[in-house]
Amino acid sequence: MDYLNSLNESQRKAVTHTEGPVMIIAGAGSGKTRVLTYRIAYLIQNGVDPYNILALTFTNKAANEMRQRIEKVVGAEARNLWMGTFHAVFARILRAEAEKIGYTKNFTIYDTDDSKSLIKSILKENNLDDKIYKPNIVLNRISAAKNRLISPGEYMNNPIITNEDKENMRPELGRLYKIYSERCYKAGAMDFDDLLFNTSILFRDHLDVLNKYQNRFKYVMIDEFQDTNLTQYYITRKLAAQNQNICVVGDDAQSIYAFRGADIQNILNFAKDYPDLATYKLEQNYRSTKTIVNAANDVISKNKNQLPKHVFTENEEGNLIEVLKANSDNEEGKLIATSIFESKMLHQLKNNDIAVLYRTNAQSRPIEEALRKMNIPYRIVGGISFYQRKEIKDLLAYLRYTINPNDEEAFRRIINYPRRGIGDATVLKIIATTEEQGANLWDVLCNIKSIIPGRGSEQVEDFVNLIKTFQKSVDEKDAYEAASMIAKESGILKELYDDKTPEGVARFENVQSLLNAIKAFTDDPENEDKKIGAFLQQVSLLTNADETKNEEGDKVTLMTIHSAKGLEFKHVYIAGLEEDLFPSQTMLTSREDLEEERRLFYVAVTRAEKWLTLSYATTRYRFGKLRPCEPSRFLTEMNPKYLRLSSKIITQEEIPLSYNHNVKTSAKNLVSSSKPKIKYTMPPDFKPSDTSDLQKGMRVEHPKFGYGTVIKMDVNGTDRKAVIDFEEVGEKTLILTFAKLRIHPQQN
């Protein structure tokens, strides 16, 4: 066990403490993956059967890297581990136990596009306005309910939830959730949230199944525990209930996915759930310089809701953090591109060593333009992924439908592609019949003549016979042989081959690339199941982080901070450090939201190994108008001794007042941790006032920001603005044309 000698004392204790509940708080860059890897290797070397170990991660990439590292220590036995993403592991359990909850083992996994498409169909059938019931909003609401283990019935019977929907002018959301769930079930399909939700139902309603997996998984480990939602924690707690050998690894300071349902309370309250918990803190950062680590600590220390720890490093002091001030977002892009060029020359960096991070995808445009002008190659992480391209989804839909002919979304996609003369009216009649009769889609198609008499049914019959041929091929052949046959016989290959435009050629090449990927899958000795179903499951569970490796070559990486989690670069740029952009204006209404934004900034800062550059613009176009911008409060939260304001861009006299912590400035906008605010709730009688006579000193009320005092009026023609100091969120500049303000009488 030589590997134990490579660990520091805290790491070694965390690795060798194998029994009972354990929490490992792993600060940024503290060797978390190494500890988790060696802990599993240590268990195996001490006689634990790999089949009895369950390790859950958030990306396939993380699982594969860990498995390879473990294999180097313990050999081929590592292949017998149950290790993978929550969705992949639970999908594997559901495949084995599907019949217990009324599914077949060949159930389809719907991606977001499939779910949105189904919701659009349901809205149309129910004559609901998709401008009010936007598919994105409906899907997010359903997802949030499932992540909190709320079924359609519980949703519709909960007055708090239903009243909230009524207030938001969407009273039908509960019914839509019910219809959506019924349609997924009928189609033999589960969306990503169902993989968790249905596993929780399986374990709740079938104690024999739960007991079987409790006996199998004697040791349960969870990576990135701060990112788990209620359902994920509920399931893993149940699995570990018998043996109590649960080990969670995470960092509350890097919890940044609340918008996806992650619940930071899981990690903050873990000790309450397990009173005999052993806690180990990994506080030594091996990644970044002292300057970067100390500046990051400055910022995150402002959060009230956190587990106490002190991250430190024995690395070099390092360069000061450079701050770039630009006059506009276009100039910011130019300054970043110029700095990248200089950094490459000065430090002999490759493009791959550099990343530009931003709060929102929309910020990439001026940065991209500047990089192109300077001939600096770049990749954007989070664009359209390979598996989201139309031609790829078309062929995958054929494969999906072949193994699950009740998959309504796959059916709609392929029934008339390539064109075979089957119109929308026929499709709607088929779907309506399945609804009216309560029948399966495939049964209706196989009896099409009873629904559409005469010649109108012939094309549908031809389609059914084609699918039956494909089904025979899938049963008899491996994934590659069957997929090649389906691509050819469906007419997809010919359709794309005949299109000689550059786009058509690219689409044809993409389909060939998919077939190559299927061949690699069947050739991989680690894949025991070589059939189409196994390949489709692997593809449907890919995450964005798993696909970034497809972009090869030496390129600067551009991505949102949410996409950067878990990565590291020698030189990191964080763009757009302005109030209302970062922190985002939508995240300033509560202390919890602001703390999440601060954690997001902390994650961004700690991606940097040696050099960190922060930038902001004094003006930025928003909603078609040039707006003045204020430097982000996060800049004020770093000790100025760690910052260097670029002399080429900003003189010392131009330092924003907010850098001077002794001056009363925008730093007062911070939500005080010592004096917590009561969250403002708009009263039911709120009615905006006429603001044509609004003046400095008046007390006002805003439906989102609460109570405040007008401290300045700015009148420029018809564009009237008011600078208001709100009690909860600090200063805001509001355009009175859009602002809804209620004026309160002055108190004597």
Do residues 521 and 479 make contact, with C-beta atoms less than 8 angstroms apart?
A: yes
Do residues 230 and 264 make contact, with C-beta atoms less than 8 angstroms apart?
A: no
Of 599, 598, 607, which is closest to residue 559 (Cα–Cα)?
607
Of 118, 577, 554, which is closest to residue 379 (Cα–Cα)?
554
What span, in angstroms and rounded, lies between the C-alpha atoms of 640 and 58?
36
Beta strands 608-617; 321-326: pairing state: parallel
Do residues 230 and 263 make contact, with C-beta atoms less than 8 angstroms apart?
A: yes
Q: Residue 33 catalytic?
A: yes
- Rounding to the nearest 10 degrees, give the CA dihedral for residues 333, 334, 340, 342: -160
Beta strands in 88-170 (DSSP E): 108-110
Beta strands in 502-637 (DSSP E): 556-560, 569-574, 608-617, 619-622, 625-628
What span, in angstroms and rounded, lies between the C-alpha atoms of 261 and 145?
9
Which residues, listed in sequence order, are joined to residue 459 by a DSSP beta bridge?
A: none
For residue 156, give both structure tokens: 């519709």
Catalytic residue, candidates 254, 284, 402, 522: 254
Distance set, CA 315 to CA 281, 283, 288, 293 (Å): 19, 13, 7, 10
Do residues 345 and 338 make contact, with C-beta atoms less than 8 angstroms apart?
A: no
Of 249, 292, 329, 191, which is closest to residue 58 (Cα–Cα)?
249
Catalytic residue, candidates 97, 191, 224, 597: 224
Catalytic residue, candidates 67, 141, 146, 607: 607
DSSP state of 153: H
CB contact set of 377 (below 8 Å; sequence gap of 6+): 351, 371, 553, 554, 555, 556
Locus of tokens 């809205």 = 123
What span, in angstroms and rounded, lies between the C-alpha atoms of 676 and 304?
10
Catalytic residue, candidates 32, 61, 69, 507: 32
What span, in angstroms and rounded, lies between the C-alpha atoms of 735 and 722?
7
Locus of tokens 């060029």 = 341
Catalytic residue, candidates 33, 162, 338, 618: 33
For residue 658, give both structure tokens: 């907010």
For residue 425, give both structure tokens: 């009216």
What span, in angstroms and rounded, lies between the C-alpha atoms of 411 and 462?
14
Q: Residue 224 catalytic?
A: yes
Q: Residue 223 catalytic?
A: yes
The Cα diameter of the chain in Å comes to 88
In DSSP notation, 376-426 reads --EEETTSS-GGGSHHHHHHHHHHHHHH-TT-HHHHHHHTTSS--S--HHH
Catalytic amino acids? 32-33, 223-224, 254, 607
